């Protein structure tokens, strides 16, 4: 593999990684802080994508659509928390899995009824429509650079919020000793609601910025949810720093590793073998990475020690 | 307890009465057709086209085919072989249908094949055309009205030869149909396949594959990415600027099911197929305008093949007077394929797969702003599949 190709693949991996981080950040907060398994996190990502599509149609402006979608995603998260999740905090994980799985099925079908089964697309806004010439033939859309930037900004904001602010302190405290925090007169229920709302909004935001790159279709969040779980297991459950590291590792491993692995196999084996084995092995790469991390550090690379 | 059992009996009686009423509404004389297609998940749009195409043919004839009243039972296979099997079994055992029409995908077809065939019911596939039933496992009660899966890729290879492509990169999803398309393409393409890239099924981000293509000095890309994958690949291919230096050729990637998502990004992209909505035969013009008027969208090959399936059954029912007792006569009537296909020339080979023309298709924008494929040039005429000689029928 030439150096140019390697660098381009690193860029692709970085971009995939930041997108994964946006999804995994919300998941790791809800899972780590509240001990709640939210399988519906992936479908909230899908909802974000459909929302930006719908608001774009209504307002005609991408920026307005993004703002409205985030507000709507937050509202949906709060509604779900109020009507469904709140009643499940005290229950075991199986009840949580069943209920949130039901939400996946419900929202996927609802999207199909409202928007049809076909694949929808949305254009990036005019002022981000340009592209950068990477090689003689290959261009890299500016919009993809913007998604990397957005991911990095969210990462910094989240990190500062959790480690440097009063709310962040309460979140960390509420996660380790909810009873004590409650006894000190803090409304833990309300705290959890805030965490949940922010988690839902982050998933929605990921869907919003992914919509112009990937197409919008029912069920688009189902596969990405699995990868998001891989990310937070690698990074350490409940840890924002861990989610960031895990997301970049998975993004780079999947993109660069896939190319390197297949090229490597082509050197060792005849094409007929490498063509069969390579793609199958490449799909397993991130799971192998996860298994390796679990063997060496079962708690994840940067676990939350009461701190995120 | 007593009251409850009384209730139960009353309920049972109601159910029975209802059942009888329903049965007599669909008279014993009716021809029953069961349809097994995918109507949920991302590929639901394909199944919907098949239902709509068939329903259009029924509606145009006042709910009749070949003069016989037809009751159509539609089932969703959810793209799961086990679900398809269950649905097909209930169609032949409980509903005792005369024909089963299905499926969209080859894996679900393989699941329903045995139970339908063993019950001595005719099975007609409006889309899936796997090689498995085209050769030595062909069956007298099995018909395919679409194509044999490899054919479109074989024709794509011929197109590449004709256009003088020397180096081609192939990108397909890593599953059976993807690999079949690679095999079909290589069978006819005379140039060099510089790279074969296999992606996971349902792939989201093609940027890594596009980077590979850009460093491969290929003059053309050949791909098979149905549904949402095709929408993403086409959009990302165009955004990467590769469309300026590399020709995009494909099968089932830029068709009427994906074009509403791809829009301008796909204009000018090439594909191979046996039908396009702009084909100027009289039957086709009538079909396309009636379909758009009824359903409000441009029909794709799935709808066209399904419409043909309905008309094939109509022609056979007319010939036999709707007599389902004489299977041999019905089979002979189906084999004759004595109907006016929207594809123009259409006949069955000895293995009951179609013999038809294949064309070079190009995506174009219509004056009303909608997108469709147009037939540019006929590549092969009366083209039969490569497996029919192994069939002993």
**pLDDT at residue B30 tops 90:** no
Q: For residue range A214-234, what is the model confidence (pLDDT) as tens digits?
A: 889 888 898 899 999 999 999
Q: For residue range B47-56, what is the model confidence (pLDDT) as tens digits?
A: 999 999 999 9
CA distance A285 to A292: 11
Mean pLDDT on B289-309:
96
Mean pLDDT on B175-199:
90
* Percent of chain A residues past pLDDT 90, beyond the cut: 52
CB B389 within 8 A of CB B134: no
Q: For residue range A115-146, what is the model confidence (pLDDT) as tens digits?
A: 987 888 998 888 888 888 888 888 888 999 99
Least CA distance to A224: which residue of chain B?
B204
Least CA distance to B204: which residue of chain A?
A214
CA distance A275 to A295: 30
Provide the 3-class DSSP secondary structure of residue A120: strand
Give the list of residues 6+ apart from residue B161 with CB closer than 8 angstroms, or none.
B188, B189, B190, B191
B chain contacts of residue A131, beta-carbon cutoff 8 Å: 239-241
Q: How many CA atoms lie within 13 A of B83 on its CB side?
A: 12
CB A308 within 8 A of CB A172: yes
Point out the residue among A12, A116, A120 whose CB comes nearest to the CB of B207: A12
Least CA distance to B199: which residue of chain A?
A279
- Contact state of A2 with B215 under an 8 Å Cβ cutoff: yes
- Contact state of B263 with A5 under an 8 Å Cβ cutoff: no
- Provide the pLDDT confidence category of residue B249 given band limits of 50, 70 and 90: very high
CATH for B28-147+280-355, options being 3.40.50.2300, 1.10.3720.10, 3.90.226.10, 3.20.20.80:
3.40.50.2300
Residue of A57, A137, A255, A270 to mutate when probing chain B, most B C-beta within 10 A: A137
- Provide the pLDDT confidence category of residue B9 given band limits of 50, 70 and 90: low
Is A130 near chain B, with CB under 8 Å?
Answer: no
Quote the minimal CA–CA distance from B9 to chain A in Å.
35
- Contact state of B262 with A121 under an 8 Å Cβ cutoff: yes
Is A211 near chain B, with CB under 8 Å?
Answer: no
**pLDDT at residue A305 tops 90:** no
Point out the residue among B42, B200, B242 whose CB comes nearest to the CB of A138: B242
- Contact state of A5 with B236 under an 8 Å Cβ cutoff: no
Is A56 near chain B, with CB under 8 Å?
Answer: no
Quote the minimal CA–CA distance from A126 to chain B in Å.
13
Least CA distance to B246: which residue of chain A?
A137
Per the structure block, which two tokens stand in for B331? Answer: 């089979």
- Contact state of B235 with A215 under an 8 Å Cβ cutoff: yes
**pLDDT at residue B97 tops 90:** yes
Is B236 near chain A, with CB under 8 Å?
Answer: yes
Point out the residue among A16, A133, A215 whose CB comes nearest to the CB of B232: A215
Q: How far does Cα A90 stand from its chain's mean position?
A: 26
**pLDDT at residue B1 tops 80:** no
Is B207 near chain A, with CB under 8 Å?
Answer: yes
The label of the residue with tokens 């029409």 reads B101
The three-state DSSP-derived secondary structure of chain B is CHHHHHHHHHHHHHHHHHHHHHHHHCCCCCEEEEEEECCCCCCHHHHHHHHHHHHHHHHHCCCEECCEEEEEEEEECCCCHHHHHHHHHHHHHCCCCCEEEECCCHHHHHHHHHHHHHCCCEEEECCCCCHHHCCCCCCCCEEECCCCHHHHHHHHHHHHHHHCCCEEEEEEECCHHHHHHHHHHHHHCCCEEEEEEEECCCCCCCHHHHHHHHCCCCCEEEECCCCHHHHHHHHHHHHCCHHHCCEEEECCCCCCCCHHHHHHHHCCCEEEECCCCCCCCHHHHHHHHHHHHHHCCCCCHHHHHHHHHHHHHHHHHHHHCCCCCCHHHHHHHHHHCCCCCCCCCEEECCCCCEEEEEEEEEEEECCCCCEEEEEEEEEEEEECCCCHHHCCC
Report the alpha-carbon angle A131-A132-A138, nearest 5. Answer: 95
- Residue B20: per-residue pLDDT: 47
Pairs across A and B, CB distance < 8 A: 100
Quote the minimal CA–CA distance from B137 to chain A in Å.
26
Point out the residue among A144, A218, A279 whose CB comes nearest to the CB of B174: A279
CATH of the domain spanning B150-273: 3.40.50.2300
Is B198 near chain A, with CB under 8 Å?
Answer: yes
- Residue B2: per-residue pLDDT: 45
Q: How many CA atoms lie within 13 A of B110 on its CB side?
A: 11
Is B240 near chain A, with CB under 8 Å?
Answer: yes
Is A120 near chain B, with CB under 8 Å?
Answer: yes
- Provide the pLDDT confidence category of residue B365 given band limits of 50, 70 and 90: very high
Point out the residue among B212, B241, B258 whose CB comes nearest to the CB of A259: B212
Domain ranges of chain A: 13-128+140-296
Rounded (10°) angle between helices A220-235 and A271-296? 50
Rounded (10°) angle between helices A3-34 and A142-164? 40
The 8-class DSSP code of residue A215 comes to P
Quote the minimal CA–CA distance from A119 to chain B in Å.
6
> Which comes out higher in pLDDT, residue B333 or A128?
B333
**pLDDT at residue B317 tops 90:** yes
Is A297 near chain B, with CB under 8 Å?
Answer: no
Point out the residue among B211, B260, B261 whose CB comes nearest to the CB of A8: B211
Enumerate residues 133 to 152 of chain A having a beta carbon within 8 A of any beta carbon in chain B.
133, 135, 137-141, 144
Least CA distance to A143: which residue of chain B?
B239
Least CA distance to A9: which residue of chain B?
B208
* Percent of chain B residues past pLDDT 90, beyond the cut: 75
CB B393 within 8 A of CB B352: yes
Q: For residue range A150-168, what is the model confidence (pLDDT) as tens digits?
A: 999 999 999 999 889 998 8
**pLDDT at residue B19 tops 70:** no
CB A108 within 8 A of CB B250: no
- Residue B102: per-residue pLDDT: 87
> Which comes out higher in pLDDT, residue A34 or A195?
A195
CA distance B95 to B73: 9
**pLDDT at residue A276 tops 90:** no
CA distance B334 to B342: 17
ipTM comes to 0.86
- Residue B7: per-residue pLDDT: 54
Is B199 near chain A, with CB under 8 Å?
Answer: yes
- Residue A308: per-residue pLDDT: 42
Enumerate residues 124 to 183 of chain B having a beta carbon within 8 A of any beta carbon in chain A.
174
Domain ranges of chain B: 28-147+280-355, 150-273
Rounded (10°) angle between helices A188-210 and A41-59? 60
- Contact state of A139 with B212 under an 8 Å Cβ cutoff: no
- Provide the pLDDT confidence category of residue A36 given band limits of 50, 70 and 90: confident
**pLDDT at residue B335 tops 50:** yes
Provide the 3-class DSSP secondary structure of residue A140: strand
- Residue A188: per-residue pLDDT: 83
- Residue A257: per-residue pLDDT: 86
Q: What are the Cα distances from residue B16, in Å, to B2, B25, B26? A: 21, 14, 15
Q: For residue range A223-267, what is the model confidence (pLDDT) as tens digits?
A: 899 999 999 999 998 888 999 999 999 999 998 888 888 888 888
Is B228 near chain A, with CB under 8 Å?
Answer: yes
Q: Are strands B346-348 and A139-141 parallel, antiparallel or unpaired?
A: unpaired
Mean pLDDT on B287-306:
96
Mean pLDDT on A40-58:
95
Average pLDDT, chain A: 89
CB B236 within 8 A of CB B282: no
Point out the residue among B210, B215, B228 whose CB comes nearest to the CB of A217: B228
B chain contacts of residue A255, beta-carbon cutoff 8 Å: 207-208
A chain contacts of residue B263, beta-carbon cutoff 8 Å: 121
Per the structure block, which two tokens stand in for A111? Answer: 């999207």
Q: Which fold has domain A13-128+140-296?
A: ABC transporter involved in vitamin B12 uptake, BtuC (1.10.3470)
CB B56 within 8 A of CB B307: yes
Q: For residue range B200-233, what is the model confidence (pLDDT) as tens digits?
A: 888 888 988 998 898 888 999 999 998 889 999 9
- Contact state of A219 with B41 under an 8 Å Cβ cutoff: yes
- Residue A307: per-residue pLDDT: 43
Residue of B220, B241, B255 to mutate when probing chain A, most A C-beta within 10 A: B241
B chain contacts of residue A223, beta-carbon cutoff 8 Å: 202, 204
Give the list of residues 6+ apart from residue B263 with CB closer than 8 angstroms, or none.
A121, B371
B chain contacts of residue A139, beta-carbon cutoff 8 Å: 239-241
- Contact state of B202 with A223 under an 8 Å Cβ cutoff: yes
Is A260 near chain B, with CB under 8 Å?
Answer: no
CA distance B69 to B51: 18
Q: For residue range A93-118, what is the model confidence (pLDDT) as tens digits?
A: 999 999 999 999 999 989 988 998 78
């Amino acid at each position: 593999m030439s150096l140019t190709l390697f660098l381009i693949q690193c860029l692709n991996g970085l971009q995939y990684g930041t997108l994964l981080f946006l999804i995994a950040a919300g998941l790791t907060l809800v899972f780590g802080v509240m001990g709640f398994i939210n399988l519906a996190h992936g479908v909230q990502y899908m909802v974000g994508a459909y929302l930006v599509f719908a608001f774009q149609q209504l307002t005609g402006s991408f920026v307005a659509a993004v703002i409205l979608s985030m507000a709507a995603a937050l509202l949906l998260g709060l509604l779900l928390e109020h009507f469904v999740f709140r009643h499940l905090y005290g229950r075991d994980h199986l009840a949580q899995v069943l209920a949130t799985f039901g939400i996946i099925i419900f929202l996927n079908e609802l999207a199909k009824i409202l928007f049809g089964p076909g694949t929808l697309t949305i254009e990036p806004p005019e002022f981000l429509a340009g592209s950068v010439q990477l090689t003689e033939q290959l261009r890299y859309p500016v919009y993809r650079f913007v998604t990397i930037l957005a991911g990095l900004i969210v990462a910094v904001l989240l990190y500062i919020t959790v480690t440097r602010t009063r709310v962040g302190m309460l979140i960390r405290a509420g996660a380790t000793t909810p009873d004590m925090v409650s006894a000190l007169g803090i409304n833990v229920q309300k705290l959890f609601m805030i965490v949940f709302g922010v988690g839902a909004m982050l998933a929605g935001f990921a869907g919003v910025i992914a919509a112009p790159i990937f197409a919008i279709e029912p069920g688009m969040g189902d596969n990405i949810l699995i990868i998001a779980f891989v990310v937070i297991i690698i990074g350490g459950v409940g840890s924002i720093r861990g989610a960031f590291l895990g997301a970049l590792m998975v993004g780079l491993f999947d993109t660069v590793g896939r190319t390197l692995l297949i090229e490597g196999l082509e050197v060792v084996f005849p094409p007929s073998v490498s063509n069969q084995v390579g793609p199958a092995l490449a799909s397993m790469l991130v799971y192998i990475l996860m298994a390796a991390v679990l063997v060496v550090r079962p708690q994840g690379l940067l676990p939350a020690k009461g701190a995120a | 307890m007593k009251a409850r059992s009384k209730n139960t009996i009353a309920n049972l009686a109601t159910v029975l009465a209802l059942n009888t009423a329903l049965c007599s509404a669909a008279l014993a004389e009716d021809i029953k057709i069961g349809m097994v297609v995918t109507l949920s998940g991302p590929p639901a749009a394909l199944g919907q086209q098949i239902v709509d195409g068939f329903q259009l043919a029924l509606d145009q004839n006042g709910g009749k085919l070949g003069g016989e009243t037809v009751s159509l039972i539609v089932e969703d296979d959810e793209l799961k072989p086990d679900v398809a099997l269950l649905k097909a079994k209930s169609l032949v055992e409980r509903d005792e249908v005369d024909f089963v029409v299905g499926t969209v995908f080859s894996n679900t077809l393989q699941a329903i094949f045995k139970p339908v065939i063993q019950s001595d019911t005719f099975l007609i596939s409006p889309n899936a055309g796997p090689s498995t039933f085209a050769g030595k496992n062909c069956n007298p009660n099995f018909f395919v009205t679409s194509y044999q899966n490899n054919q479109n890729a074989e024709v794509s290879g011929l197109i590449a030869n004709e256009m003088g492509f020397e180096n081609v990169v192939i990108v397909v999803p890593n599953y059976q149909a993807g690999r079949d398309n690679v095999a079909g393409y290589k069978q006819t393409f005379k140039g060099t396949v510089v790279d074969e890239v296999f992606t996971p099924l349902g792939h989201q981000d093609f940027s890594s594959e596009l980077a590979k293509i850009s460093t491969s000095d290929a003059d053309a890309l050949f791909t098979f990415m149905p549904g949402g994958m095709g929408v993403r690949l086409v959009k990302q291919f165009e955004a990467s600027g590769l469309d300026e230096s590399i020709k995009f050729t494909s099968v089932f990637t830029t068709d009427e099911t994906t074009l509403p998502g791809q829009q301008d990004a796909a204009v000018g992209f090439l594909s191979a197929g046996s039908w396009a909505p702009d084909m100027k035969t009289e039957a086709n013009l009538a079909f396309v305008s009636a379909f758009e008027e009824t359903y409000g969208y441009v029909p794709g090959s799935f709808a066209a093949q399904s419409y043909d399936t309905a008309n094939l059954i109509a022609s056979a029912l007319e010939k036999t007077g709707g007599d389902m007792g004489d299977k041999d006569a019905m089979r002979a009537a189906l084999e004759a394929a004595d109907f006016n296909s929207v594809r123009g020339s259409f006949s069955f080979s000895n293995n009951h797969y179609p013999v038809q023309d294949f064309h070079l298709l190009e995506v174009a924008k219509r004056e009303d702003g909608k997108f469709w494929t147009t037939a540019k040039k006929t590549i092969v005429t009366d083209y039969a599949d490569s497996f029919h000689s192994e069939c002993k029928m």
